Structure 1
Amino acid sequence: MSVQTICGIDLGSRSIKMALMQFQTESDSLEIKRLEKLDTIRFYREYGRKRDGKLVVNFEALGLPEIDSLVSTGYGRNTLELAGGEAIPELKAHVLGAIYQTGLNDFTLVDLGGQDSKIIQVRRGKMIDFLTNDKCAASSGRYLENMAAVLDLSIEELGHYADSPVELNSTCAVFGESELIGKIVEGFSLNELAAGVNATIVKRILPLLRSFDGELLVFTGGVAHNYAVTRLLQEGTGRRIIIPQEPQFNGAIGCCVKGRDLLMNYSD
């Protein structure tokens, strides 16, 4: 049985996600073998160099085996293309990853990453509509990290608070810190403050979801690990929410799915 190795890399604004998957050509199966996340600055400093307008990655230093197919995607429009591989749009990578991880073909994808948010409507396995926000970090993981630091909580601890949220109205991540400090001075409890932070994320997403029909949401990105945001999103939409097994690696996994398709096309 022929086994080929595929590497998918999601070049995020704050972290690099890598997925290593094996494709068995005879059975047409694709299996995850390794997932790894690295700080973006560290990744570029230790493992990447720009040559001839492309990003050359030292896969040997990363401890990766010989790769048969390399596909990347990334944050924003100025992401470097990886040498020896193919780059695909970020939205496409996330759709392919969500379909692979859930086995679904009809859903609305809500991806809340480190610094941006994406809502994508998928019908019959194809993207038919989308909204993205990469201009402000207020509905992203960065916002949650900043607010958790103000409250002296870990990002994991913050995710436990959903009840009795204090109302926070600032739509800016920076001004949001000042507003949160003001609420602390007013004497609100830690539970109310932390729940208010989580509720604010959901409050910013709900208006965007109104233009996307369907009863099923697939929730990906690092924020999907936040239990409180997931619960508040479900309560706010009344829709069923599915979180894939690896929500933060969804884009990298989608790159591997594209890599498998490329290998199959080459063999035809």
Structure 2
Amino acid sequence: MKRLGIDMGSREVKIVLMDKDSIIHKQKISTMAFYKNYCSYNNGKLKVDVSRLGISEEVVAVSTGYGRNNTDISMFRQITEIKAHVYGAIHQTNLKEFILLDVGGQDVKVVKVEKGLITDLEMNDKCAASCGRYLENMAGVLEISLEKLTEYYEAPVELNSTCSVFSESELIGKIAEGVSMERLCAGVNYSLYRKLRPLLFKFKGKRLVMSGGVAKSKSLAYYLANDFDEIIKLQEPQFNGAIGCCSYGSFF
């Protein structure tokens, strides 16, 4: 039977349909559009109409993310984001020993995996300064695309603010001082790295697997290469949670 995985994130919903071990369909939908166009409410639960996703056959359905507990429990099994992302990383890499770094829009997850099992984890969902939203906000201040922002890593300007809101003011001050765009972007990226580093160094490991949208960051991988022997970027970092749901669904 085919497996449907849905990662209901704070900003986007990621959907993956797998047949055996192959992805046959994937898509991203904004969370608001997903709720409005693909769901209905029934007794306080969010019921996903999979037919609107173009799925007419019976599937094993598993969900994760912020909205997993609101989905129709008669159809979806729910698993934690940690479990989903670990299952996804194992599926995509075939590795059983690694540190997983998942930088989402509103939280950061660092998970130690040994022999395919979760042995330790650390999360930060209290401060936006170490999350993807921080980069989005700073890209907005600099009036540059997020993709372009994350390319720069050389000669970063020093940004000392630990708060996302104050960082924006500090960045504007650096702009007024005439600091180059390249150094400003590098400074933003290095600032994110400095905030992530304490979380990562609570665990010992030589191999780091990067998941989530920030896994595409060239600059973050560059900085992290000084701390790990091997940096692995998943082929589908943004769909990793949904892939993990499908992988978990193979047990049913």
Which aligned pairs between 1:75-154 and structure 2 lie closer than 5 A?
A: 75=66, 79-83=69-73, 84-154=75-145
Instruction: Give the secondary-structure state (helix, strand or coil) at the position aligned to 1:17.
Output: strand
Native 8 Å contact 1:54 1:82 kept in 2: yes
TM-score of the pair, normalised by structure 2: 0.96
**Structure 2: where are the runs of 5+ without partners?**
none
Which amino acid counterpart does residue 201 of structure 2 have in structure 1? Answer: R
Q: Aligned equivalents of 2:66 and 2:127: distance in 1? A: 14
Q: Aligned equivalents of 1:173 and 1:41: distance in 2? A: 24
Q: Aligned equivalents of 1:149 and 1:14: distance in 2? A: 17
Q: Aligned equivalents of 2:225 and 2:55: distance in 1? A: 39
Native 8 Å contact 2:106 2:131 kept in 1: yes
**Structure 1: where are the runs of 5+ without partners?**
24-29, 263-268
Equivalent position of 2:44 in the other structure = 53
Instruction: Return closer, same or farther for 1:81/1:61 CA change in 2, 3 Å cut-off.
Output: closer
Native 8 Å contact 1:220 1:244 kept in 2: yes
TM-score of the pair, normalised by structure 1: 0.90
Q: Aligned equivalents of 1:153 and 1:79: distance in 2? A: 36
Equivalent position of 2:189 in the other structure = 198
Equivalent position of 2:212 in the other structure = 221
Which aligned pairs between 1:18-37 and structure 2 lie closer than 5 A?
A: 18-23=15-20, 30-37=21-28
Instruction: Give the secondary-structure state (helix, strand or coil) at the position aligned to 2:119.
Output: strand
- What are the Cα deviations for residues 80-113 of structure 1, in whole angstroms up to 9, with x where unaligned? 1334110011100011000000000000000001
- What are the Cα deviations for residues 201-241 of structure 1, in whole angstroms up to 9, with x where unaligned? 11011111112111000000000011111111223x14311
Structure 1 outlier segments of 4+, above 6 Å: none
Q: Aligned equivalents of 2:137 and 2:157: distance in 1? A: 17
Native 8 Å contact 1:99 1:125 kept in 2: yes
CA RMSD of superposed structures (Å) = 1.4
- Residue 157 (structure 1) aligned with residue 148 (structure 2): yes
Instruction: Give the secondary-structure state (helix, strand or coil) at the position aligned to 2:196.
Output: helix
Aligned length: 251
- Residue 261 (structure 1) aligned with residue 251 (structure 2): yes
Native 8 Å contact 2:48 2:71 kept in 1: no
- What are the Cα deviations for residues 125-167 of structure 1, in whole angstroms up to 9, with x where unaligned? 0001000111121111111111011111101111211100011
Instruction: Give the secondary-structure state (helix, strand or coil) at the position aligned to 1:105.
Output: coil
Q: Aligned equivalents of 1:238 and 1:108: distance in 2? A: 10
